[in-house]
Amino acid sequence: MKKVVILSGAGMSAESGISTFRDAGGLWDQYPVEQVATPEGWIRDPQLVTRFYNERRKQLLEVKPNRGHELVAALEKEFDVTVVTQNIDNLHERAGSSHVIHLHGELTKVCSSRDPQNPHYIKKLKPKEYEVKIGDKAGDGSQLRPFIVWFGEAVPEIETAIRYVEQADIFIIIGTSLNVYPAAGLLHYVPAEADVYLIDPKPVDTHSRRPVHVIQKGASEGMEELLKIIS
């Protein structure tokens, strides 16, 4: 069975109504990145950061996976599929994808603010627990913080992602600007003989000389077209 690795970014979830950070009118316009997505922002105002991610979680209850997510999940009928996502939502899982690597953490999880990557203190929240409060403690007694990889923090899952990318027969990039590292560097680990496809309505600089099949469409339409090519 051929191995397919998909790298998905904000454009994958935009069709479901999840605001992207980078586009005009996106979340960064309302909240400077330094306030809500850095360790320094957390130290400065944990209440603001907690509220910001509570709002993001509530949004998850209002959105659904789109056709693009569903078609990615459907690839598992024909291929051995690994999804590597820069997104912190759970839409790939809800659409039925069974192997998802979250590079930037997961919105539905919280962790220790003293030792964020310690698996003993990472907790998956049920929807009724999405409202985290100041005073809610992890198992080590520290304040619970979002299980998110913030700017300036290491990306522990990148090594896992690289291992899968190095074995890919087909590599598919969906809805990412390829401007955020280390995720953008994954293309360099794709085997020379693998086919590479890029689905995005906007032009994307791959920072690479290798041939890339570009499908200049949104996630759902792009996946429809891609399936005709590879199935």
The first and second tokens of residue 11, run together, are 């454009």
Active-site residue among 99, 104, 188, 213? 104
Strands 213-215 and 195-199: parallel
Type and span of the H or E element at 125:
none
The first and second tokens of residue 218, run together, are 């949104």
b/e for 26-39, b at 16 or more Cβ within 10 A?
A: ebbeebeeebbbbe
- Give residues with Cβ within 8 angstroms of 170, minimum separation 6: 2, 3, 4, 5, 79, 194, 195, 196, 197, 230
Report CA Rg, the chain. 18
**Helix or strand or coil: residue 12?**
helix
Residue 60 has, within 13 A of its CA and on its CB side, a CA count of: 24
Say if residues 171 and 75 touch (Cβ distance below 8 Å): no
104 a catalytic residue: yes
Nearest by Cα to 12 from 195, 177, 181, 197: 177
Residue 91 has, within 13 A of its CA and on its CB side, a CA count of: 31
What residues act catalytically?
Answer: 104
